[in-house]
Structure 1
């Protein structure tokens, strides 16, 4: 039966404290890897704005068979910048590729968001996909990105910086 920490010799307690400090420092260093600009790769936005970070994240998602979220997010970024006269065609393309229930790369969005997108397809504007894009970004940030940070794909990217 455990008698508690008070029964351990003080030298053991001191050693345990030292190890705890070293391990916490090691964990902090691992999770705050920096790129060449000094920005941490702990931030999804930094990775998405870095050519090598984006490629590594894409490769990681492909290895998990979940790259559709990133591809949707990127398509929405391009859509926001497309000329008004091309918005309807581009919106329709994004909808059929990522939102439609029969889509090859259907993203995981709630029914309310899908319904709002369906209604907006008649007269799309620059912000048509904004809410859906934010939901997918949030999903990547909370789900895929933490796994990416622990992956070999991330470690290789950090070495490349």
Structure 2
């Protein structure tokens, strides 16, 4: 079976990043969706999460986003099984913590693999990241240093 993590990471090389500006970085702090809607924002957020050893939820979220964009049923079936085994199975290497209802939905997805099979699970993970990881990132030195890198030397307008 093909590792979904390799698939996930290889796609980043194909997608060019938008130019990074101070305004774009500031927009990430306005709301979580601004960060997630930016390929560069996702890259910076993932880099931060890896330093914190808490990237599993985000990698799951990214994997489900890729699944939702897939139309080939054979590929969808393979992706559903890979996502389940990578993130949701009891023996998953990058197991995410979800509620019992969503555990049942995840198991059912194996029997009915569709591009939206994990939507409720993804919503739960989105909420967890928004309430926890996102706030930590916006308050982190990583974010502050990135934003400060756009400021002229000698000024210090970062206030997060």
Question: Do Structure 1 and Structure 2 share a fold, with TM-score over 0.5?
Answer: yes
Q: Which runs of 5+ in 2 are unaligned?
A: 1-21, 151-160
Work out the CA distance in 2 between the residues paired with 1:93 and 1:139: 22
| SS of equivalent residue, structure 1 residue 36 | helix
Work out the CA distance in 2 between the residues paired with 1:151 and 1:39: 16
| SS of equivalent residue, structure 1 residue 127 | coil
Alignment of structure 1 residues 38-117 onto 2, 5 Å: 39-83=27-71, 84-117=73-106
Which structure ranks higher in relative contact order (CA pairs < 8 Å, sequence separation ≥ 6)? Answer: 1
The alignment status of 1:142 with 2:131, answered yes or no, reads yes
| SS of equivalent residue, structure 1 residue 138 | helix
The answer on whether the counterparts of 2:28 and 2:41 sit within 8 Å (CA) in structure 1 is no
What is the total number of aligned residue pairs between the two structures?
Answer: 128
> Which digits, 9 at most, give the CA deviation of each residue in 1:53-73, with x for residues without a partner?
222211211111110011000
Alpha-carbon deviation of 1:37? 8.3
The answer on whether the counterparts of 2:26 and 2:147 sit within 8 Å (CA) in structure 1 is no
Work out the CA distance in 1 between the residues paired with 2:125 and 2:53: 16
Name the Cα RMSD after superposition.
1.8
The answer on whether the counterparts of 2:105 and 2:118 sit within 8 Å (CA) in structure 1 is no
Larger radius of gyration, structure 1 or 2?
A: 1
> Which digits, 9 at most, give the CA deviation of each residue in 1:5-64, with x for residues without a partner?
xxxxxxxxxxxxxxxxxxxxxxxxxxxxx6338735231111122233222211211111
Alpha-carbon deviation of 1:148? 0.8
TM-score by length of 1: 0.72
TM-score by length of 2: 0.73
The answer on whether the counterparts of 1:92 and 1:121 sit within 8 Å (CA) in structure 2 is yes
Residue among 115, 119, 129 paired with 2:118: 129
Q: Which runs of 5+ in 1 are unaligned?
A: 1-33
